[in-house]
């Protein structure tokens, strides 16, 4: 795959660049789940200033580069292959130990580690991220659900659709926890169609809306029906007064 060639080229550049203290790869190619649609993703830790544009030009031909809202350089390679490159200083290596989890085996993640700092930070991480407490998940689900309902009632249909994306993310977390399918926890929509039972996926699909009143009403109702069941499975006692109001407003 073109992604494998890009990873090999980045590894080559990292090893040759003496300004670089450490570098790692993360994501699907590290976890062993990559396919032809996967991104290539890297953290690069330098001990002196570099020009990210010039460094990326050495990787190969690109269609465009943009710095996203998180400060990451996102590169579009030919074939619409995405690359994410975090350019930062050596002092940030220690912060890796505060990440939620590793992407995969440490040896597969490390591209360069001239001081051993990166290995120590990665080995301090758990292999899997911690899940969120059930009560926290369920309460946040209700927060977004009520917002989606209220702004839809006001006629802000696009805002309601936006709120429903947060509803669905929390529904996915609730489903993963209740079904004991907590792989891909940090991105709960990833591989949901294969991770979760087919009947659960079907219900989650019904909780997806387009920006028209009929679709939104149906999606909000489906989301509450699904979330109600998972809430009862995940935590007892449930807030009965809230359940009663949501039943009256949203169940059809």
3-state class (DSSP) for residue 181:
coil
pLDDT digits (tens, 9 = 90+) for 198-228: 999 999 999 998 999 999 999 999 999 999 9
The whole-angstrom distance between residue 199's C-alpha and the CA centroid of its chain comes to 23
**Taking a C-beta distance cutoff of 8 angstroms, is the pair 20, 46 a contact?**
yes
Instruction: Calculate the alpha carbon distances from 167 to 10, 16, 79, 240 in Å.
Output: 38, 46, 33, 20
Degrees, nearest 5: CA angle 117-123-128: 140
Q: What does the mean pLDDT of the chain come to?
A: 96
What pLDDT does 252 receive?
66
| pLDDT for 35 beyond 90 | yes
Whole-angstrom distance, CA of residue 202 vs CA of residue 45: 43
- Name which of 26, 11, 108, 111 is nearest 58 in CA terms: 11
Segment 45-92, tens digit of pLDDT? 999 999 999 999 999 999 999 999 999 999 999 999 999 999 999 999
What confidence tier does 251 reach under pLDDT thresholds 50, 70, 90? Answer: confident
Confidence tier at 135 by pLDDT (50, 70, 90): very high
Q: What CATH number was assigned to the domain covering residues 2-123? A: 3.30.460.10
How many Å apart are CA 182 and CA 176, to the nearest integer? 5
Classify domain 134-250 at the CATH superfamily level: Nucleotidyltransferases  domain 2 (1.20.120.330)
- pLDDT computed for residue 146 by the predictor: 98
In sequence order, the 6+-apart residues with CB closer than 8 A to the CB of 116 are none
In this prediction, residues 21-39 reach a mean pLDDT of 96
Q: Distance between CA atoms of 111 and 190, rounded to whole angstroms?
A: 25
- The domain segmentation of the chain, as residue ranges, is 2-123, 134-250
Contact 30, 40 (CB under 8 A): no
- At 94-114, the pLDDT tens digits run 999 999 999 999 999 999 999
User: What's the average model confidence in pLDDT over 233-242?
Assistant: 96
How wide is the angle at C-alpha 239 spanned by C-alphas 250 and 157, nearest 5°? 30
Average pLDDT over every residue of 124-140: 96
Residue 74 forms beta bridges with which residues? 66, 84
Distance CA 221, CA 241 (A): 18
> In whole angstroms, what separates CA 227 from the centre of its chain?
21
Residue carrying the six token digits 């001239």: 114
DSSP state of 90: G
What number of residues does the chain have? 252
């Amino acid at each position: 795959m073109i992604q494998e060639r890009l990873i090999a080229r980045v590894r080559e550049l990292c090893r040759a660049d003496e300004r670089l203290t450490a570098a790692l790869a993360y994501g699907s190619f590290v976890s062993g789940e990559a396919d032809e649609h996967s991104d290539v993703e890297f953290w690069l830790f330098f001990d002196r200033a570099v020009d990210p544009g010039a460094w990326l030009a050495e990787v190969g031909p690109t269609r465009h580069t943009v710095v996203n809202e998180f400060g990451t350089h996102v590169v579009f390679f030919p074939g619409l292959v995405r690359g994410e490159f975090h350019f930062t200083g050596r002092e940030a290596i220690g912060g890796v130990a505060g990440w939620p989890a590793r992407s995969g085996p440490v040896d597969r993640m490390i591209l360069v580690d001239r001081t051993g700092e990166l290995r120590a930070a990665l080995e301090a991480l758990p292999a899997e991220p911690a899940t969120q407490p059930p009560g926290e998940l369920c309460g946040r689900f209700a927060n977004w659900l009520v917002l989606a309902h209220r702004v839809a009632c006001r006629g802000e249909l696009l805002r309601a659709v936006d709120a429903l994306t947060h509803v669905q993310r929390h529904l996915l977390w609730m489903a993963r926890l209740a079904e004991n399918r907590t792989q891909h926890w940090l991105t709960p929509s990833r591989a949901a169609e294969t991770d979760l039972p087919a009947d659960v996926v079907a219900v989650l699909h019904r909780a997806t809306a387009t920006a028209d009143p009929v679709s939104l009403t149906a999606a909000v109702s489906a989301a509450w029906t699904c979330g109600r069941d998972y809430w009862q499975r995940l935590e007892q006692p449930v807030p009965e007064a809230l359940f009663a109001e949501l039943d009256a407003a949203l169940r059809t």
